[in-house]
Amino acid sequence: MEISIIALPLIASIISGFFGKFIGDRNSEIITSLLVSISAIFSSLVLYEVIVNQYQENIIIATWINSGSLEVNWSMMIDPLSSVMLVVVTSVSALVHIYSIGYMSHDPHKPRFMAYLSLFTFAMLMLVTSDNFIQLFFGWEGVGLCSYFLIGFWFKKDSANKAAIKAFVVNRVGDFGFALGIFLIFYLFGTVNYSEVFSQISNIEDRNLLFLGIKLNAIDLICLLLFIGAMGKSAQILLHTWLPDAMEGPTPVSALIHAATMVTAGVFLVVRCSPIYEYSELALNIITVVGMSTAFFAASVALVQNDIKKIIAYSTCSQLGYMFFATGVGAYNVAMFHLFTHAFFKALLFLGSGSVIHAFKDEQNINYMGGVWKKLPYTYSLMLIGTLALTGFPFLSGFYSKDAIIEFAYLRGNTTGYYAAGIGIFTAFLTSVYSWRLIFKTFHGEYNNKDIKIDETHESPIVMLIPLVLLSFGALFAGFLFKDLFIGYEGLNNFWRESIFFLKPLSTDHPPLWFLLLTPTLVILSIPLAYYLFIKNKNLPTEIANINKPLYHFLLNKWYFDELYDVLFVNPSKKLGLFLWKFFDLKIIDGFGPDGISSMIKKFSVKANKFQSGYIYQYAFVMLIGFSALLTFLIIK
């Protein structure tokens, strides 16, 4: 059963990808959705066995590399951490497959799309079930490749191609650091298997290395290099620029890859490597700073964006920041709890936005929507649930997981922890404001679309609504049902076991009551505030923007990261590339190489062709010259 979890999505991808044109669109959709759904059911059974019977196993599928001291297996490691990820990946993927049947109904390349989704699922499953860093890297690069395919699925759109290339290139930066980290691990330990590496970490606690002229502790260096990879994959600040542009892909792609699975791989990596990170205070502090900076940055940008998918994309970026600063303060289990709950409500919001875009005939600007909550009652209700969960409204899933992160940051007791908690609370307020802005401008107020009549908007088909309904149950109840298991102290001892390592036990204290009430109070108060700003007094946000034009443009242009990178990296790289192409390639390599030789032969042929005139005296003259040259050569010799 365990191996079937991985094998079924791969089989689905092969069938749809290679035989889709023979079996037809509908059969491709049914087969891929069915096989991934079966994989999701098996994953749920595995999680049940892990919870109830403390099931744990490392299944060796095959030997992959056996060279010297390097021994790497294809394996499937089942433990509490991987079992949670199995459920997240397969359940969301199955619902996205089903949703895609309706959303992609008019696309002429449905088998290819379903094949890419299933292949991505397989790669992500290989990533989360690996027992070594090489298989992890295989899955890591596999999801990156599938992300490139899916973002650029509509390859005839120039913007989609550019977004796919941008995602691929930016992730290469992070992956280079990740690869260096794996090389360093093998150099220091002679192995890449988790169990062997983790058992030897304490032996090199005081070892130092010289890296780029800087003397660093070996464990600090490993952690920082691995975290660079995590920053790229999970779109943390400085390496985040690819995520908003990735919204050029179809909406189901955004729900699967950019909300619930691939972007959480970085968080999973840090949690999986908790036995290493617990020995590096420097790395944990850096992760905390990067995480809380990302959370605030992305939330501030989302406040002023108008593309419905980009607002949710920046929200994803912000929530990933929460997960990272949870790991930075040592609350790895809380980070996994938020990863788990976030997968449901963020996938719900992305698929809900797809339903809205479907109703508005591909319109994505929320300024051209409004007043359709009665026309789209199911989509509206389900997105309302997702929004409440995202903002951390009391007793929904986000309330339990996000507030727990803020509380554990506060209980950390150091300057970094207090700073992270403060930023987390303020970011939660911003999250609530931009989330309700999206709801109010999309569904309430006046209808603002001049190209589409309101009567032409319509609710999505049942095949698109069923996944939304199922995800809404996770958004409503996942937090309450799993909070004791994931973050309760009894659950910490019985559930996570050795899959998460704590060098120092988490605090068992409780924050003061005022601190516990602060975030929910701000979240609740933001609702009437957003209603006043975006429904009752719609001119006020424009007036505020006009008063603070520099700040507004700063946020609207995403803190000018793209413009800065254009100046520092993109434009110089283009100029260097053009110079190397025109000078070295064309003038030197081609000029003295194939082009030069062929040009010389052509010129010689043209000259020689003139002797083929048909006159005997010219032929005799050439023969005489040849004979003279030969005679001269023989005499000299």
C-alpha 336/C-alpha 81 separation (Å) is 8
Radius of gyration of the chain from Cα atoms? 29
- Residue at token pair 């999701």: 40
Q: Which amino acid is at 571?
A: N
Residue showing tokens 């790497």: 72
Distances, alpha carbon 523 to alpha carbons 312, 424, 442, in Å: 18, 12, 20
Q: Which two tokens stand for residue 442?
A: 């999309």
Residue with tokens 């032996």: 203
Taking the complete model, does pTM exceed 0.95, yes or no? Answer: no
- Sign of torsion over alpha carbons 347, 348, 349, 352: positive
As a whole number of angstroms, the longest Cα–Cα distance in the chain is 114
How far apart are the C-alpha atoms of 481 and 483, rounded to whole Å? 6
d(CA 43, CA 55): 13
β partners of residue 216: 209
Q: In terms of Cα–Cα distance, which of 103, 105, 59 is closest to 82?
A: 59
Q: What is the pLDDT of residue 491?
A: 44
Dihedral of the alpha carbons of 584, 587, 593, 595, in degrees to the nearest 10: 140
Residue 467 in contact with residue 295, Cβ under 8 Å? Answer: no
Q: Amino acid identity of 115?
A: A
pLDDT for position 330: 87
Q: Where would I find the H helices in 104-240? A: 110-128, 133-151, 158-189, 194-200, 218-233
Q: What is the pLDDT of residue 213?
A: 79
Angle at Cα 172 formed by Cα 170 and Cα 175, nearest 5°?
Answer: 120
Report yes or no: 455 and 368 within 8 Å, Cβ to Cβ. no
Q: Which two tokens stand for residue 288?
A: 């905390």
Q: Evaluate whether 91 touches 48 at the Cβ level (below 8 Å).
A: no
Whole-number Cα distances in Å, 44 to 88, 103, 403: 9, 26, 26
Q: Helix (H, G, I), strand (E, B), or coil: what is residue 548?
A: coil
> Running along the chain, 637 residues long, what does each successive block of 10 average in pLDDT?
91 92 90 94 93 89 84 90 94 93 87 93 94 93 92 88 91 93 92 91 86 85 94 91 88 82 91 92 93 94 91 93 92 92 92 90 87 89 94 92 91 85 93 94 86 83 91 92 80 73 79 89 93 86 84 90 90 87 79 76 76 73 82 77
Quick one: 119 exposed, middle or buried, by C-beta within 10 A (0-12, 13-18, 19+)? buried
**Rounded Cα gap, residues 276 and 83, in angstroms:** 21
Residues contacting residue 563 through CB under 8 Å, at least 6 positions apart: 557
All residues at 6 or more sequence positions from 554 whose CB lies less than 8 Å from its CB, including other chains:
560
What is the spatial distance between Cα 465 and Cα 463, in angstroms, rounded to a whole number? Answer: 6
**How high is the pLDDT of residue 363?**
85
Query: Is-contact 157 362, C-beta < 8 A?
Result: no
How far is Cα 399 from Cα 388, in angstroms, rounded to an integer?
Answer: 9
